[in-house]
């Protein structure tokens, strides 16, 4: 159980770090484009700022989601779908005990 929680936590910490840089770049670009629009009243800057803003919203939401899962991995989708970590751990142990065939794409179990 702890291995799966730690794995989810580590993965989301890496994803948070990876998403931080594009988030900060897009946010800076958004504010630069807004500043250019305000200073020159040129609508091309506003259109570019709106496009960058939409991209930035999705990156920020992904960043927040990965941070929340790094803090509390119990909220991961796998636990919502299959139940608590102890139940998933039992299923994994049962599959490992009854495994007939395994390759990189699938596992056949009894």
**pLDDT tens column, 67-92:** 888 888 877 777 777 777 777 778 87
Helix (H) or strand (E) holding 85: helix 85-97
In terms of pTM, does the model score above 0.85? no
pLDDT computed for residue 58 by the predictor = 92
DSSP 1: -
Q: What residues of the chain score a pLDDT lower than 70?
A: 1-2
pLDDT computed for residue 37 by the predictor = 86
């Amino acid at each position: 159980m702890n291995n799966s929680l730690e794995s989810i936590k580590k993965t989301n910490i890496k994803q948070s770090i990876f998403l931080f840089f594009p988030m900060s770049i897009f946010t800076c670009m958004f504010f630069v484009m807004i500043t250019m629009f305000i200073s020159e009243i040129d609508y091309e800057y506003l259109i570019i700022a709106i496009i960058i803003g939409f991209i930035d919203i999705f990156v920020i939401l992904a960043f927040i989601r990965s941070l929340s899962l790094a803090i509390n991995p119990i909220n991961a989708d796998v636990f919502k779908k299959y139940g608590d970590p102890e139940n998933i751990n039992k299923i994994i142990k049962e599959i490992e005990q009854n495994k007939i065939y395994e390759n990189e794409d699938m596992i056949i179990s009894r």
